[in-house]
Structure 1
Amino acid sequence: MPTLPALLAEVRRCTLCAESLPLGPRPVFQLHPRARILVAGQAPGKKVHLSGVPFDDASGQRLRAWMGVSPDTFYDPHQVAILPMGLCYPGTGPSGDLPPRPECAPAWRQPLLARLPDLQLTLVIGQYARAWHVPGARGPLTVTVRQWQALWPGVVVLPHPSGRNNGWLRHNPWFEAELVPALRARVAAVLAGTAPG
């Protein structure tokens, strides 16, 4: 097994799907073995590709609000690992960004997750992350999000925090009334080292 620095260097040099990436490869992620929270997202957007900073956009602001954390905490790799299903920007299709490239997760996800032994909470964002982290889940993502207590306290499935989901949030007021306060409390307890398991 390669050392962590060697693995991270290999991931950052990855060109597996370079021919399919409109802006070329630029893996964007954040990882340290001491991280206790994992944000398992979909794939970087164009703005994130250009900055190289995960969730460096409006959806990141909303996600941090849901979690109840500051940017300083969110971007502290000793606290929060950020590992999308696709590490590079996949491009845009007719209805928004394309799905994560299918080559990425099989190549890198398990080796990277194996380097996160202290995780106490995984935030699963969107259907592609749900398929990996909650393989038994079926049906619409909303159903899994609504049944959040079934995976509590180790895993929380979330809708994507993109503005494209503003309508979903309006139609599902229970999300911000029930789940978000519980999530903030859980995140605070994990970060403070007071959360059980």
Structure 2
Amino acid sequence: MSHEESFDALLARVRRCTLCAASLDHEPRPVVQASPEAKILVVGQAPGRKVHETGLPFNDPSGDRLRDWMGITRDTFYDEQQLAILPMGFCYPGTGKSGDLPPRRECAPAWRELLLSRLEKVRFTLAIGQYAQAYHIPGPRRSVTDTVSRWREYWPDLVPLPHPSPRNLIWLRRNPWFEEEVVPAIRQRVAEVLKPEL
């Protein structure tokens, strides 16, 4: 599609997408939040079951922790003029033996660059988990722990994060430096980026 397509029309096309329908045992429901005005980009993995049911990104305990790490309220988080939320897969991929399946592969090639090219005001990206980091951080593949530990290399444009899921409590306990060093820096950067321009 040409650049003349309005952002609203593009977003409407994304939300009608059924590319992965044949691979799912439920109806596709792309869950995204975006506006050309957004200053922060949140890149997760893919919606979980609760997000699929409600249509609201990070509407779960993971979202509560992520908002805490960012130091913002639900109202700010769900303000599309402030935050774009574009997971690597837009639809709930279903559940496997050890939790949710990986993001569907059809999604990123079809939509990601089209959307990102229109988010020209983004000043800070949160890349959550291995799939987001593999896409948004060039170079050799590393473990999430290794990538997150190198967070200063990508600062202040991007910060790699572990998943804020309750399943990751063990990781947080084993890596206390994350909440001691990285979280305060994230809160400060988020506040700085979202500060109203005078």
TM range (shorter): over 0.9
Per the normalisation by structure 2, the TM-score is 0.96
> In the TM superposition, what is the alpha-carbon distance from 1:137 to its structure 2 partner?
4.2
Distance in 2, matches of 1:120 and 1:68, equals 17
> In the TM superposition, what is the alpha-carbon distance from 1:3 to its structure 2 partner?
1.7
Residue number in structure 2 paired with 1:114 = 117
Residue number in structure 2 paired with 1:43 = 46
> Are 1:31 and 2:34 an aligned pair?
yes
- Letter in structure 2 aligned against 1:192: K
Residue number in structure 2 paired with 1:95 = 98
> In the TM superposition, what is the alpha-carbon distance from 1:193 to its structure 2 partner?
4.8
Residue number in structure 2 paired with 1:159 = 162
Which residues of structure 1 form unaligned runs of 5+? none
2:187 to 180, 184, 189: 184
> Are 1:76 and 2:90 an aligned pair?
no
Residue number in structure 2 paired with 1:67 = 70
Q: Does the 8 Å contact 2:7/2:35 carry over to 1?
A: no
> In the TM superposition, what is the alpha-carbon distance from 1:12 to its structure 2 partner?
1.1
> In the TM superposition, what is the alpha-carbon distance from 1:135 to its structure 2 partner?
2.4
Greater CA drift, 92-101 or 18-27: 18-27
Task: Report the secondary structure of 1:166's partner residue.
Answer: helix
> In the TM superposition, what is the alpha-carbon distance from 1:25 to its structure 2 partner?
0.6
Distance in 1, matches of 2:103 and 2:89, equals 4
State the superposition RMSD in angstroms: 1.0
> Are 1:13 and 2:24 an aligned pair?
no
Q: Does the 8 Å contact 2:88/2:107 carry over to 1?
A: yes
> Are 1:3 and 2:16 an aligned pair?
no
Distance in 2, matches of 1:116 and 1:102, equals 22
> Are 1:146 and 2:149 an aligned pair?
yes
Per the normalisation by structure 1, the TM-score is 0.96
- Residues 1:193 and 1:145: Cα distance change in structure 2 (over 3 Å): farther
- Letter in structure 1 aligned against 2:27: G
Q: Count how many residue pairs are aligned between Structure 1 and Structure 2.
A: 194
